[in-house]
Amino acid sequence: MSEYQILYFGTVNALNTNDRYDASTNIDGYPVSLDLHFDERQLAAGLDTTINQFLEKIAAFHEAHRAVLRDDYDADGEALDYIRFFLDELGPRDLRRMLGDQFDNLSAPIQLLGKLQPVRIGIYPDAEGGFLAIFDYSLAINGRPSQQVLAIETDEQGEVLNIVWES
């Protein structure tokens, strides 16, 4: 079969793929852009199944990432550095606006961590090192996602490979 149906993305010609396909969805009520990238012109046998199985689980992966980010924060990882950056950059008024009535200085870092929202999922099924997906999370500042993102890199099973802070 030379055409495959990929969840969210529609029809992909397995014998002549584009470099990139774009789609969107909602996760936890947030709009999330999806981008699917191919290095090879032809899909390897079964890769469409792998991609679709991964895409069917993105909401579950997102839920698991909440705990992953909290663990990374507690382990003095990238999530902690990211939150500290925003605590330094945002004034009390902005923090109050973001956190509402729940704002207090002691719990503000954990509250900010809870405000991270998914903004993008990039999928690289035939990357050089194997299947790679990148889930970008950001804080909304004045209603718009910040350009600063925490990126969680996973494999096709959703196993976390790395967490990085990007801008």
Q: What is the pLDDT, as a whole number, of residue 104?
A: 61
- In this prediction, residue 101 carries a pLDDT of 67
Domain count, the chain: 1
Q: Are 1 and 87 in contact (CB under 8 A)?
A: no
> Hey, is 125 helix, strand or coil?
coil
Angle between the N-to-C axes of helices 47-56 and 58-74, in degrees from 0 to 180, rounded to the nearest 10: 70
Residue 2 is predicted with a pLDDT of 85
pLDDT at res. 102: 65
Give the pLDDT of residue 103.
59
Is the backbone of residue 66 left (phi > 0), alpha (psi -120 to 50) or beta?
A: alpha
Q: Which domain holds residue 68?
A: 3-166
Three-class secondary structure assignment of 86-113:
HHHHCCHHHHHHHHHHHCCCCCHHHHHH
pLDDT for position 141:
85
Regions in the chain scoring below 50 on pLDDT: none
